Amino acid sequence: MTQSTSHNSHSAPATGPTSRLVGILAEFSTPDQLVDACDQARQAGIRRMDAYSPFPVHGIDPAIGITRTRLPFLVLAVGLSGLFVAMGLQYAVNATDSIGPFPGYPFLISGKPLFSLPANIPVTFEVIVLSSAFATFLGSLALNGLPKFANPLHRIARFRKATNNGFFLMIEAEDPNYNPRTIRNQLEQWGAQSLEEVHLDLTDHKLPSFVRMVFVLLLAVCTLPPAILYRSLGESNTVPRLHFNPDMDWQYKSQAQQVAPDIAVGDEEERPMFRDLRAMRGEVPGTVIRGQLRDDRAFYTGISGAEAGLALNAGGASYVSIPNAQDEAPAEPDWLTQFPSNEKFAVNAQTMQRGKQRFDIYCAVCHGTTGEGNGMVNQRALTLNALGRASWVNAKSLHDYTVVDQPVGRIYDTITNGRGSMGPYRSQITPEDRWAIVLYVKALQDSLADAVAEDEEGKWVPVRTTPPAPVTEAEPAAADATTTEAETTEASGGQN
Ligand code: HEC
């Protein structure tokens, strides 16, 4: 081969070799001859060769020295690394505090171990399958030297017979045992019908036309997403762009606080559906919604007399008492001291049962099932208090004398409107259930009226908290049951 370089910059493009010898192509007339020739060539020490036939020929693989594929080992190796990657990643992320500079995320779920084999199998399995599939697909392409866009053999007219009735053996010039002087003779000896040298044209750099077309098409398609994004930048949409399930989202309707639609009935012209243009209809003046009549004011407020009306008119909001100008102490309303009785509420065993059930649902979490103020929420909150992570007001013991002595109406009001830091329960609990709870609270108080418990100093004290000892001498035998109880807790009396 000549290696000539032009020093004249004005001359034609550098004149290197215009073609390179790739190998020699021999045609045989029968498959048996082809196999035979392959055998001989192999025995002559030639390794870089390939046979072409229109159909699979038995015995040709060993004849040209094709060994078993290495693909399975490649797939095994990649699959195993998939196993280690998946296991390792899960371990690093879930069971360690940090992975190098990155923080780990040890996340405790239901007290399960941070790393356990069974839990990590699915991800590992998936990663192994995925990596093996890729290794198989890409590996078989790579081992076969694909994709290959051109082959000099395709420029040889005779070679077209390879898909029809030609049996070809191609011996590559790169083979160390390729001897350009003797190869022709050898092939003829082995039965070649015709021989042809195969050259690679080094001056032809043209891409196949379809490649250029596909490239241009792909480029055009790639501009679409940014174009769509750019277009949507200035757009606003009231509906999701993709609305797979229409439900009843586009029905003809008007919503509560919107303008009523214009409608036409029969041949009429379109006109507003309602004269006031509002889609929502207000309450009809002078009427009461079915089941909403709250004429029994004492029942709904826990307050007897005229004040009850005031509380009701406040829309069920907290009863606001006006402080007395003289002593600053807010005037207490006239609380009901007796349980109400109507078609919704009666004092009986059934109501008591209902009250207990509601109490256990709504109140026990804070006040405890016995009402001593030791519910689970309260206990937890006190723990947080001690840690400085909450500021919680102790849920009061319902056996505290300040509560025991309260009239039923006042306890009802506490449930309805809340008190101090306790929230209101009027929206969760119906009035009749509130009264049932009051009934149960009263029963709870009675049940512990003369119970005793050990205090911190190991002394047995009454569960029911007594008022502080009076500073002045107590009046003897007051008619008021409260005072009696306060002074003589061991007495079994003190019922409401
Ligand atoms: C989220 C916790 C919590 C729940 C639930 C709860 N309470 Fe309370 N309750 C409190 C706290 C806290 C206080 C003390 C409020 C204060 O002193 O500021 C209290 C105080 C009370 C008082 C005394 C009010 C007074 O006059 O001092 C009564 C009575 C009472 N609750 C009854 C109930 C009843 C009945 C229920 C169930 C409907 C209930 N509570 C549900 C936390 C709760």
- Annotated domain spans of the chain: 19-202, 298-318+329-487
Both tokens assigned to 218: 């792909």
CA 325 to centroid of ligand 1, rounded, Å: 29
Q: What is the pLDDT of residue 50?
A: 92
DSSP for 159-182 reads GGGGGTT-EEEEEETTSTT--TTT
Beta-sheet strands, E only, within 352-462: 452-454, 460-462
Q: Indicate the Cα dihedral angle 299, 305, 307, 313, nearest 10°.
A: 50
Mutate which of 396, 428, 434 for ligand 1? The one with the most ligand atoms within 8 Å of its CB, which is 396
Structure token pair of residue 54: 């229109």
Cα 489 to ligand 1 centroid, rounded to whole Å: 24
Pocket test for ligand 1, best of 357, 422, 439 (most atoms within 8 A of CB): 422
**Distance between CA atoms of 130 and 133, rounded to whole angstroms?**
5
In the reported structure, the alpha carbon of residue 393 is separated from the centroid of ligand 1 by a whole-number distance in angstroms of 10
> Ligand 1 centre and the CA of 493: distance in Å?
26
The ligand 1 site (C-beta within 6 Å) comprises 362-363, 365-367, 377, 393, 395-396, 398, 402-403, 411, 414-415, 419-422, 425, 437, 441
Centroid of ligand 1 to alpha carbon of 387 (angstroms) = 23
CA dist., res. 330 & res. 322, Å (int): 6
Just give the CATH number of 298-318+329-487.
1.10.760.10
CB-based burial, 362-393: b 16+ in 10 Å, e otherwise: bbbebbbebbbbbbeebeebeeeeeeeeeebe
Quote the ligand 1 centre to 411 CA distance (angstroms): 9
* Residues 392 and 376 sit within 8 Å (Cβ to Cβ): no
pLDDT digits (tens, 9 = 90+) for 256-276: 888 888 888 778 788 888 888
Tell how far the Cα of 294 is from the centroid of ligand 1, in angstroms. Answer: 26
DSSP notation for 291-333:
T-----HHHHHSB-STHHHHHHHTTTPPP-PPBPTTT-PBPP-
Nearest residue by C-alpha to atom 37 in ligand 1: 363
* Secondary element (H or E) of residue 199: strand 194-201
Q: What is the pLDDT of residue 331?
A: 72
- The residue whose CB lies within 8 Å of the most ligand 1 atoms, and thus the one to mutate among 318, 359, 367, is 367
Q: Which atom of ligand 1 is nearest to the CA of 437?
A: 35
Q: What whole-number distance in Å separates Cα of residue 355 and Cα of residue 187?
A: 108
CA of 417 to the centre of ligand 1 (A): 11
Which amino acid type is present at position 139?
G
How far is ligand 1, taken at its centre, from the CA of residue 408, in Å? 14
Largest separation between any pair of C-alpha atoms in the chain: 143
> Could you tell me which residues come within 8 angstroms of residue 106 by beta carbon, excluding any fewer than 6 positions away?
94, 95, 96, 97, 114
Cα 395 to ligand 1 centroid, rounded to whole Å: 6
Ligand 1, atom nearest to 378 Cα: 2
Atom of ligand 1 nearest to the CA of 365: 5
Q: Name the residue at shortest CA distance from atom 26 of ligand 1.
A: 403
Distances (CA, A) of 128 to 115, 121, 138: 19, 10, 15
Residue bearing the CA closest to ligand 1, atom 5:
363
Pairing of strands 460-462, 452-454: antiparallel
Counted residue by residue, the chain has a size of 496
How confident is the model at residue 3, as a pLDDT?
Answer: 44
Low-confidence ranges of the chain (pLDDT < 70): 1-16, 239-241, 306-330, 464-496
SS3 248: coil
Q: What is the position in ligand 1's atom list of the atom closest to the CA of 429?
A: 38
- For residue 464, the CA-to-ligand 1 centroid distance in Å is 16
pLDDT of 151: 85
The residue whose CB lies within 8 Å of the most ligand 1 atoms, and thus the one to mutate among 393, 397, 419, 437, is: 419
The Cα–Cα gap between 173 and 184 comes to: 12
38: closest CA among 135, 131, 171?
171
pLDDT at 24: 94
Amino acid occupying residue 490: E
